[in-house]
Structure 1
Amino acid sequence: MDKVFKVLEQLETHRYPEESKPVGGYGAGIAVINGKRRVIFEKTGKVSDVSPVKRLSETVKVNEANVLVGHVRMPSKEFMSTAEFRETAQPYMAKCYSDLVVVSAHNGWVANYKTLREKLGGKHVFESEKVGLIDSEVIPHLFETRLVEKGGHVEEALDSVFQCLEGSNTVCLLHVGKEDLFMHLIHKGETRGLNVWTNNQGEIIFCSRKEALTSEFTKLLVKSEFREKLSVKWREEKSIKFSLRVL
C-alpha cells in the first residue's frame, strides 16, 4: 500500500506546464476488495493542514490489496465550495440492488448529471446529496440501473452509460456481482488522460498519468509481464469502452 499512496501523492500535485491546476489536492480515497469480496472504503475531503492523501494514509488499515481503486480530486468550479466534506470525495459506491456493488472513480464533467439524477428516481441513495449532489456519484448508480434493466448484459449496460454521459469524462467502474468481478473503463471526449496496462493473468493497472504510476510500479509491470493496453494523453480526444473480468 505504501507504493499506492506514493502514486496518489504524486497525482495530487502532478501538472503539465500547460495545465492551470494539478490533478488533485481537494480530496482522496480508496476502495479495496477483500478476500470475502467485500468493499473496504475510506476517503477524505480537502484538509487545510496536510495533503488529503497523507491524511488518508494515516486512516487506512489495509496493508496490501489485489483489487483497489484510488482517486485524488480536483473539483470543478461548481463543486469547490463543498470540497472539504468527505461526502464529495471519491471513489463512490452504489449498492441499491441485491447482489450488486458498483465502485466508481471519475475525472471530468458530467454535463447532464442533474437530468440523470432525476431519471434515476428515489430508489437510489446518494452520499453527496447530504451536502450537495456531485456529478461523479450519478455514474455508478446509472450503471447498476442499466445493468439490471439489460438483464445483466455487461456490454449493453456499459454502452448505455457511455451514450448517456454528456461532456468529457474518464470513468472506472469496479463491478462486484454475486459471481463475477469486472473492471470497466470509459473514456469520452478530452480528459486529463488514461493509461492502461494488462497481462495474460487477467490483471489490470491503470492511471490518469503515466509518470506517476511508472515511478513506483515499473518493476512490477516488468516482473508481471504487463503490456500497455492503451494510452490517452491529456487533451487527446478519444472514445473508449473497455471491460476486463478480474480473476
Structure 2
Amino acid sequence: MSCGIIGYVGIDLLKLEIFRRIMTELEVLQEKNEKSPLGGHGAGLFLVENSKELILRAGADKEKSPVKRVFEKLQEYSQDSTRFFLGHVRRASKEYEDKLSEEFAHPFIAMERDVEVVGIHNGFLSNHSGLQKRYRIEDALIDSDVLCKVLLKLILRHRKIERAIQEYFEVIEGNNTAAFYIKKGREMWFLLLHTGATRGLVVYENEKGNIVFCSREQPLKQYLGEYLQKNNYFITFHIGIKEHGHFINWWRIEPGTFRLLEY
C-alpha cells in the first residue's frame, strides 16, 4: 500500500493554497501502525478551470520536497483557484522503488480519439500484468498507468459510460483507491473508487453537487473544516487504514459550473 490522494469537484472556487497545505501534510503523514509516510517519492496535481487543463509533476528529490517543487512550478501560471482538483503524493511500492523520477509521478493521462482519462491512484493493482495482455497495453510505466489505460480502452469499447465503468470495476484486482477525470467529446465525468484495503479514504459531499475526498480526514478538517461545515457537507464514505471495503461511484460533470450530476 502506498501514496496519498486529495481531490475536489464542485461549483465553488477553492484556493489552490489550501490544497498545497493539505498535500504538504499528506506527504509526511505517517500513523503509528504505518511503516512509511504517504509521500516523499513524488507528487503531482491536475486541475481544470476556464476550459483549460493543467498537469504538473515532480519526482523524488534529496534536496526538496516533491510537493514543494510541484507548487513552485504552479507559480509560473496565473491560476490561484479551481473547481476541479486532483492531487497526489507518492510513496513507491516495493515493485517500483527504483522508479522515482518525474515520469512515474501521478497523475497519469491516457488519450485516444476523443477520449481523455486522467487518474491518481493509491495502492497496488495486483493483476496489472494480466490486464496489460488482455487489453493489449504495451507502453505502461507502472501499475497505476495500466489502471488509467485500461479505463480508456473500456470507454472506447463501450457505447455507454456506465457499462465501461461496471466492467472496469469487475476486472481490477488488489488494494486500490483511484480518482479519474474522464472527457469524451464535450462531456465530462468524475469517477471515484476503492477496492480492498488501502491507506484510507474519506469522501464528503453536499446537496449543491460538490465532492471533497482525501486519504486522511485530519488534514481536511484542519484546512477545510470551516468550509465543509458552512456548506453542509456530510460524509458518504469513510474507511480507515488497512480496512477492507468497496466503493464506486461516478457522476457527470455539468460544463461551466462543475456541479456533479448523478448519472
TM-score w.r.t. length of structure 2:
0.86
- Per-residue deviation, 1:7: 0.3
- Per-residue deviation, 1:103: 0.9
- Equivalent position amino acid for 1:186 in 2: L
SS at match of 2:174: coil
Q: Which residue of 2 aligns with 1:241?
A: 248
Distance in 2 (alpha carbons) for counterparts of 1:241 and 1:155: 11
- Per-residue deviation, 1:165: 1.1
Q: Which residue of 1 aligns with 2:145?
A: 137
- Equivalent position amino acid for 1:76 in 2: S
Alignment RMSD (CA, Å): 1.4
Distance in 2 (alpha carbons) for counterparts of 1:39 and 1:160: 28
- Aligned mate of 1:41, from 55, 58, 65: 55
SS at match of 2:125: coil
Distance in 2 (alpha carbons) for counterparts of 1:55 and 1:184: 27
Whether contact under 8 Å (1:32, 1:68) holds in the other structure is yes
**Mapping of 1:56-135 within 5 angstroms?**
56-60=70-74, 61=77, 62-83=79-100, 85-98=101-114, 100-121=115-136, 126=139, 133-135=141-143
- Equivalent position amino acid for 1:150 in 2: H
Q: Which residue of 1 aligns with 2:3?
A: none
- Equivalent position amino acid for 1:179 in 2: R
Whether contact under 8 Å (1:71, 1:91) holds in the other structure is yes
Q: Which residue of 2 aligns with 1:198?
A: 205
Q: Which residue of 2 aligns with 1:53?
A: 67
1:1-46 Cα offsets, whole Å, 9 max, x none, are 111011001110111111111111110000011212x421101011
> Does residue 3 in structure 1 map to residue 11 in structure 2?
no
- Equivalent position amino acid for 2:62 in 1: S
1:65-96 Cα offsets, whole Å, 9 max, x none, are 1101000000101111111x111000111112
- Aligned mate of 2:155, from 147, 162, 167: 147
Identity over aligned pairs, percent: 28
Q: Which has the higher helix share?
A: 1
* Structure 1: 5+ residue stretches without partners: none
1:157-211 Cα offsets, whole Å, 9 max, x none, are 1121111112111111111232322211111101111111111121111001111
- Equivalent position amino acid for 1:199 in 2: N
* Structure 2: 5+ residue stretches without partners: 1-15, 254-258
- Equivalent position amino acid for 1:25 in 2: G
- Equivalent position amino acid for 1:190 in 2: A
Distance in 1 (alpha carbons) for counterparts of 2:113 and 2:175: 28
- Aligned mate of 1:209, from 204, 216, 230: 216
Distance in 1 (alpha carbons) for counterparts of 2:166 and 2:209: 22
Higher relative contact order (CA 8 A, sep 6+): 2
> Does residue 189 in structure 1 map to residue 231 in structure 2?
no
Distance in 1 (alpha carbons) for counterparts of 2:135 and 2:228: 40
Whether contact under 8 Å (1:34, 1:65) holds in the other structure is yes
Distance in 2 (alpha carbons) for counterparts of 1:178 and 1:204: 23
SS at match of 1:66: strand
Q: Which residue of 2 aligns with 1:232?
A: 239
Alignment length, in residue pairs?
Answer: 236
Distance in 2 (alpha carbons) for counterparts of 1:169 and 1:146: 18
- Per-residue deviation, 1:237: 0.4
- Equivalent position amino acid for 1:224 in 2: N
Q: Which residue of 2 aligns with 1:166?
A: 173
- Equivalent position amino acid for 1:82 in 2: K
- Equivalent position amino acid for 2:72 in 1: E
> Does residue 220 in structure 1 map to residue 227 in structure 2?
yes
